[in-house]
Structure 1
Amino acid sequence: MTSNLLSIGKSGLLAAQVGLSTTGHNITNANVDGYNRQVVLQQTAQFNNAGYGFVGNGTEVSQVKRQYDGFMAAQVNGAQATTSSLDAYYTQITQIDNMLADPTAGLSPAMADFFKGVQDFSSNPSSVSSRQALLSSANSLTARFQGLSARLTEIGDGVNSQITSNVKVINSYAKQIAELNTAITNLTVNESNQPNDLLDQRDQLITELNKYVKATVQPGAGNTISVSIGSGQPLVVGDKNFELATTPSPTDPNRLDVGYVTGSSVTKLSESSLSGGALGGLLEFRSGSLDRIQNSLGKVAIALASTFNEQHKLGQDLNGDMGGDFFKLPDPVIGADYRNNATSTTALSAKVSDPTKLTASDYAVKYDGTNYVVTRQSDGAKTTINPYPQTVPQTIDGVDFSITGTAAEGDNFMVRPTAHGASDLAVAITDRNKLAAGAPIATGAPVSNTGSGKLGAGSVDKAYLTPGNALTGTVTLTYDKATTSLSGFPAGQAVTVKGLNGATTTYPAGTANIPYTEGDSFSFGGINVNLTGAPAQGDKFTIAPNSGGVGDNRNAALLAGLQTKNILDGGKATFQGSYAETVSYVGNKTREVQVSGLASLALLQQTSTQQQAVSGVNLDEEAANLLRYQQAYQACGKVMQIASTLFDVVIGLGR
């Protein structure tokens, strides 16, 4: 009996010692990230059958168990992935928001200064100083476009760098998790005997991994776990880890994509499959905001330059020549997929033909084996090139697509109509005398006219630039009161008449007499004139080349009017309005991401608090446990002391 009592005391002493060690371990690791509180589970030792009954043999430690809740851990990891993604997005877009919101560094002041220069030029078209000032403000405007675009490019390069860094960290974590899988498997005896500290380290690595990419965890054989990312690509399976890699975009070598390493090749992963974490946030920012902002800036630049060029070419400079291009316009950027079939001879070209219809999107052009299909990247809208082979270019969103050569299935191209619109914009004119302020035509009437008819100053449109339409001599229109018509229009040109009510009538070339009603406008060969009043019989009106029109500002006034004209977005927005929409988008998106980030952070803190309530170390509780195990230790020692005393009594009886 004494021996049994001694054994019982000893078992309790050892159990209390394990409890004290575990409690001390909890206390010393209370501030270690990822540590889960451990508790000692005891059970009754195997009893003895003494004949008169069953006598207990004390206690034994059955398990040192960590307080881990897989469901709560998964919630924390999910919230962590979302928070890290929004943080990465917010960090990047804040840079753009600060840049565009700067009242001195933004584009709006530069555009305002440019059009002020155009208005000053219109007010005094013969002034050397106003002409030089216009050229200076134009160069300032292009420099501002280039500066903003360069800054956006720098941000894009920074995103590339961070993507590379994040991929390296993800690969490092995957390798460490695989190594821990091996170590945990080797040390696991059974479900109740596991290396708790190693399990904590592995779980913490999973949490850290979710800061960079959203990871899905599944339990595996031998106490291992399998980790997958994206749309199910395995990152860790048992003791094996797989790697991600950065690879240049197939259609843009300056853009890094994330790929999955399989053998010696890298398979590109879609950006949508890599959601969550800092990597997902960076990819979402680049495709969702950075590309759009850069394209929107380029759209404004191309639209402004294109419409300004078109109007400028309808004017006449100080040398008496028709105006030329005021701005140098960049062509759309076309990237051919380097994986295109070698047998393909396809050549793709694109040209902006209608800036009013431009979007801020890129376009994927892919051959499906039968047709070329153009996919707008912003919303996935598809347009089939029809017919193919082409006879004429096909216009999509203001861009002419021309495809020649022999295609091969899978041929892929990326067309970015406005990507370099801001960065490559430049002023084409350096000679101030070539600024076209005047109109190329001049109207007049002899003083001998007796009626009240007055011919307006007139204007020209782009049809005037068609070979053969430009005036080489004077056109004299004569009024016939009997037929209320005008004669003298060029015999080789049709004449379109527009009344005050908006109705138009086109008379074929060679029509001798064109009916006239007061207020009618006449258009022929790109020339547009308006006649008002009541001409008398035989009254004449002349339209002639504008020779010596140094002080003429008609074209300059039309150039200045472009500032307030709705041109972009299908004729619904001015240049300033379109840019303001981009600034508004950036501001709203920045605020949206900020608010979402704060909400996600609150959720992360809430789930972390709930997890810590179950798995975290409470120092007050551990202090109480110390006292409890200390008392148990002392009590078991007292049991052993009593057993020793009884043993001494028994020995004494035999003396």
Structure 2
Amino acid sequence: MSLTVALKTAASGLQAAQGGLRTTSDNIANVNTSGYVRKTIDQKPLVVGGMGMGVEISGVKRITDQYLQLATLSATSDAARWGTVSDYLDNAQSLFGDPSSSNFFFSRMDSIYAAFSAAADDPSSSLLRSQAIGNVGDFLSEASRITTHINELGKTVDAQAKADIDRANDLLEQINRLNSDISRANLANADASGSANIQSQLIDELANLMNVQIQQRNQGGVNIRSAEGFMLAGDAAAKLSYNRTDTTTSYIAIEPTGGVGQVQPITITSGDLRGLMDLRDDTLPGLADQLGEFVSRMTEQINAAHNANSSVPAPKVMTGRDTGLDLPTAVAGFTGQATIAIVDAAGVVQNTVAIDFDAQTMNPGGPFTGDFKADLNAALGGAATADFVNGKLSLTAGAGLGIAIDEGTSMKAGRAFSHFFGLNDMIRSTGVTNYDTGLKVTDQHGFNPGDVITLSLAQADGRPIRDISITVPPAGSMQDLLNAMNSSASGVGLYGAFSLDSNGKMSFGSNSTLDIQVSVTKDQTQHGLGGVSISQLFGLGTGERSPRAGRFSVDAGLNANPMKLALGKLDLSLTPPAASLRPGDGRGALSLAMAGDVTTAFSAAGELGAVNMTVSRYAAEFGGSIGRRAQAADTRKQSADSVATEATARRQSVEGVNLDEELVRLTTYQQAFNASARMIQAAKELFDVLTNMI
């Protein structure tokens, strides 16, 4: 019996040594295998009836450190996020060109002012006029090109996010299937390290896409949860979806099982997906919005100078832009005085109409009657006619006559009379680009009662809160419209409020600790018959504001005839027969050349808040902010990469194979194997002696 026990004990030692040799040789063979985690055997004494009977292998385990694994996953997610942001921002920055090159976007603006300055020295030169107009056209074309490419980058980001989601779903399914393989192997006391290694590599790849929580299962394998704890993989794999429209922010959600129920939005704070979502929802739209704000304010100042001056001879027809308002509302709120002059081909004034908005009178004429068009036509006395159609004011002079306007002291929402209506704009737009409407809460809103605008409210990370459909109230004031939009029952009142500032610009302010984001999902409202919508007039939502820079072009009439460029200045201090408009007058060109030095009120857009500064200064700030943002993203990328590299190195120091250590173990197991074999040989010899004695 004692020899039998000795043989069994020695045999167990032999088997344990063989198991150790097998795991050690496997480690050595995979020393250069990416993602391989070294393993070792767990040995424990074999006890039968209280008596030691040798040794047994309780299992094969992977040498891991859960803390280092989680640290590596977190660092990998951060590095992936900022790497993505940095790469796309580099692409976006390159759209503006090389700052040291003459083709740099902001250098083109300087070329515009230089061309106007040159035209001021020789206003009669058609070539210099054409050069100035061409520079403006080139600048606007470049702004449109950049806007288009930023939008294309956004579509690329969308496509990449969808591809990431597809890959994440595939990874979750594979991780979930491997849980079953690992659990079965563990129950059978088999080696599950191969499946566990594959699963670990899949988790590393998943962390590169999105941040997740990892929890070890008692039976082997892992549970994967979202940041807030929703199960993504474990007993079953969740199906994720990327949700975004052109007008709403993006979010990731768990699709309901079997298509029954509601989607469950989840929080993504890092990983490639977070970087893509930041780009799509904030960075790229903010860049496009800031570009739109810059270009629109620059064109506003050029148009302001152009409206304050006149071509020589004066134009016969002046047609304004679509204000988006009816005439009584458009005229209301003006202060100061403006003068409309009718001049002949030689620039001699034939007739004038002085409009005093403070006194509400016209000279000739009298007090406003409430019908501005009728009052103006009566004052013009047939020398010219005024009309107002589809939000546009137009003036047409009689035969052989032209129209010139002295803006005087007139002002509404920061724009003089002719400038507000765009009667002599050099740069035209295909939509609303300036959201300083000049409306007051007492003005009529003018939108069709019963029309509906649908708003989507979301948290700062894009997770939706709810959609709200607001119905335009019956004809009333802007305050009535704001009350409907801010209603706690049917509007946004539970989350914030819309308001009008002194220039008539509408904005939303959150009333909670959450940074509530408002997007326009659908807008079926109209101002009057076929007019602009609420979101178009007030620039609500990034979908309306972001494309602004691509809406501008030089007036077609100026492109066709550069001599129509308003480089002269109407001088009403001169009386007939002296000409108030004279050929060779370059004062208007000087005004255009100095347009970049006029202090302008810029709305908050992109990284810059609401500021008052010159267009040239804003251009410098804008150009600098693009570079700073790209540099900041690159710095964060490098920092995150360094942390990820350090975390990975420390993890590898624990999980990786060290040949010296493995060779020591190999020798140890080899000696143990030889010792067990010698014990078996000794037992055999004793058994032979006993047999011979019998």
Structure-2-length-normalised TM-score: 0.67
Are 1:631 and 2:625 counterparts?
no
What corresponds to 2:78 in structure 1?
82
Q: Deviations over 1:59-78 (max 9, x none)?
A: 22222222122222111111
Map 1:37-56 → 2, pairs under 5 A: 37-46=38-47, 56=52
SS of 1:567's partner is strand
Percent identity for Structure 1 against Structure 2: 21
Q: Deviations over 1:551-590 (max 9, x none)?
A: 2222222121112222243773222321221221222222
- CA apart distance, 1:304: 1.3
Are 1:316 and 2:310 counterparts?
yes
Q: What amino acid does structure 2 have at the position aligned with 1:188? A: N
Q: Is the 8 A contact 1:371 1:384 kept in 2?
A: no
Q: Is the 8 A contact 1:317 1:433 kept in 2?
A: yes
- CA apart distance, 1:439: 1.6
Q: What amino acid does structure 2 have at the position aligned with 1:149? A: T
417-426 or 111-120, which deviates more:
417-426
User: Relative to structure 1, is the Cα distance of residues 8 and 294 closer, same or farther in structure 2, using a 3 angstrom cutoff?
Assistant: same
Number of residue-to-residue matches in the alignment: 516
What corresponds to 2:8 in structure 1?
7
Map 1:634-649 → 2, pairs under 5 A: 634-649=674-689
What corresponds to 2:618 in structure 1?
578
Q: Residue 437 of structure 1 is aligned with which of 561, 567, 572?
A: 567
330-339 or 289-298, which deviates more:
330-339
339-348 or 145-154, which deviates more:
339-348
User: Relative to structure 1, is the Cα distance of residues 105 and 129 closer, same or farther in structure 2, using a 3 angstrom cutoff?
Assistant: closer
Q: Distance in 1 between matches of 2:573 and 2:148?
A: 48
Q: Residue 498 of structure 2 is aligned with which of 374, 384, 387?
A: 384
What corresponds to 2:591 in structure 1?
558
User: Relative to structure 1, is the Cα distance of residues 634 and 4 closer, same or farther in structure 2, using a 3 angstrom cutoff?
Assistant: same
- CA apart distance, 1:427: 0.7
Q: Is the 8 A contact 1:317 1:436 kept in 2?
A: yes
- CA apart distance, 1:216: 1.3
Q: Deviations over 1:352-408 (max 9, x none)?
A: xxxxxxxxxxxxx96554586699xxxx9x653479xxxx9943479xx9997999x
User: Relative to structure 1, is the Cα distance of residues 115 and 138 closer, same or farther in structure 2, using a 3 angstrom cutoff?
Assistant: same
What corresponds to 1:204 in structure 2?
201
What corresponds to 1:133 in structure 2?
131
Q: Distance in 2 between matches of 1:268 and 1:308?
A: 50
Are 1:98 and 2:94 counterparts?
yes
Q: Distance in 2 between matches of 1:268 and 1:583?
A: 40
Q: Distance in 1 between matches of 2:58 and 2:489?
A: 71
Q: Deviations over 1:54-113 (max 9, x none)?
A: 6x4322222222212222211111111111111111111111233435134421221111
User: Relative to structure 1, is the Cα distance of residues 151 and 208 closer, same or farther in structure 2, using a 3 angstrom cutoff?
Assistant: same
Q: Distance in 1 between matches of 2:684 and 2:583?
A: 126
Q: Distance in 1 between matches of 2:43 and 2:151?
A: 64
SS of 2:210's partner is coil
Q: Deviations over 1:525-565 (max 9, x none)?
A: xxxxxxxxxxxxxxxxx9x9844511222222212111222
Structure-1-length-normalised TM-score: 0.71
Map 1:37-186 → 2, pairs under 5 A: 37-46=38-47, 56-100=52-96, 102=98, 103-186=101-184
Q: What amino acid does structure 2 have at the position aligned with 1:211? A: N
User: Relative to structure 1, is the Cα distance of residues 596 and 547 closer, same or farther in structure 2, using a 3 angstrom cutoff?
Assistant: closer
Q: Distance in 2 between matches of 1:250 and 1:39?
A: 54
Q: Is the 8 A contact 2:158 2:280 kept in 1?
A: no
Q: What amino acid does structure 1 have at the position aligned with 2:58? A: S
Q: Residue 661 of structure 2 is aligned with which of 592, 617, 621?
A: 621
Are 1:293 and 2:333 counterparts?
no
Where does the alignment leave 5 or more consecutive residues of structure 1 unmatched?
349-364, 445-473, 475-541
Q: What amino acid does structure 1 have at the position aligned with 2:541? A: M
Q: Distance in 2 between matches of 1:300 and 1:347?
A: 37
Q: Is the 8 A contact 1:251 1:414 kept in 2?
A: yes
Q: Distance in 2 between matches of 1:123 and 1:7?
A: 111
Q: Distance in 2 between matches of 1:332 and 1:241?
A: 48
Map 1:171-250 → 2, pairs under 5 A: 171-189=169-187, 195-220=192-217, 222-236=219-233, 238-249=234-245
Q: Is the 8 A contact 1:217 1:226 kept in 2?
A: yes
Q: Deviations over 1:212-244 (max 9, x none)?
A: 0011123456445332225444322x3311122
Q: Distance in 2 between matches of 1:414 and 1:182?
A: 48
User: Relative to structure 1, is the Cα distance of residues 83 and 383 closer, same or farther in structure 2, using a 3 angstrom cutoff?
Assistant: same
Q: Distance in 2 between matches of 1:58 and 1:183?
A: 31
Q: What amino acid does structure 2 have at the position aligned with 1:653? A: M
SS of 2:14's partner is helix
Q: Distance in 2 between matches of 1:613 and 1:216?
A: 23
150-159 or 30-39, which deviates more:
30-39
Are 1:328 and 2:434 counterparts?
no
- CA apart distance, 1:22: 1.0
SS of 2:255's partner is strand
User: Relative to structure 1, is the Cα distance of residues 247 and 422 closer, same or farther in structure 2, using a 3 angstrom cutoff?
Assistant: same
Q: Distance in 1 between matches of 2:648 and 2:85?
A: 23
Q: What amino acid does structure 1 have at the position aligned with 2:590? A: A
What corresponds to 1:505 in structure 2?
none
Q: What amino acid does structure 2 have at the position aligned with 1:95? A: N
- CA apart distance, 1:625: 1.3
User: Relative to structure 1, is the Cα distance of residues 336 and 423 closer, same or farther in structure 2, using a 3 angstrom cutoff?
Assistant: farther
Q: Residue 277 of structure 1 is aligned with which of 271, 277, 280?
A: 271
What corresponds to 1:593 in structure 2?
633
Q: Deviations over 1:140-174 (max 9, x none)?
A: 11112112222222221221121111111111111
Q: Which protein is bigger by CA-based radius of gyration?
A: 1
Q: What amino acid does structure 2 have at the position aligned with 1:215? A: V
User: Relative to structure 1, is the Cα distance of residues 439 and 141 closer, same or farther in structure 2, using a 3 angstrom cutoff?
Assistant: same
575-584 or 616-625, which deviates more:
575-584
SS of 2:312's partner is coil
Q: Distance in 2 between matches of 1:147 and 1:135?
A: 18
SS of 2:617's partner is helix
- CA apart distance, 1:337: 5.0
- CA apart distance, 1:623: 1.4
Q: Is the 8 A contact 2:72 2:647 kept in 1?
A: yes
Map 1:308-457 → 2, pairs under 5 A: 308-321=302-315, 322=404, 324-332=424-432, 344=471, 368-369=487-488, 383-385=497-499, 394-396=504-506, 414=541, 418-428=545-555, 429-430=558-559, 431-444=561-574
Q: Deviations over 1:106-133 (max 9, x none)?
A: 2122111111121122222222222222
Q: What amino acid does structure 2 have at the position aligned with 1:439? A: K
Q: Distance in 2 between matches of 1:393 and 1:371?
A: 27
Q: What amino acid does structure 2 have at the position aligned with 1:423? A: G
Q: Is the 8 A contact 1:97 1:587 kept in 2?
A: yes
Q: Distance in 2 between matches of 1:332 and 1:548?
A: 32
Where does the alignment leave 5 or more consecutive residues of structure 2 unmatched?
316-403, 405-422, 436-452, 457-465, 476-483, 509-522, 603-609
User: Relative to structure 1, is the Cα distance of residues 164 and 97 closer, same or farther in structure 2, using a 3 angstrom cutoff?
Assistant: same
Q: Distance in 2 between matches of 1:182 and 1:366?
A: 54
Q: Distance in 1 between matches of 2:655 and 2:216?
A: 20
Q: What amino acid does structure 2 have at the position aligned with 1:554? A: R
Q: Distance in 1 between matches of 2:527 and 2:128?
A: 47
82-91 or 174-183, which deviates more:
174-183
Q: Is the 8 A contact 1:181 1:225 kept in 2?
A: yes
- CA apart distance, 1:251: 2.5
- CA apart distance, 1:413: 6.2
Q: What amino acid does structure 1 have at the position aligned with 2:197? A: D
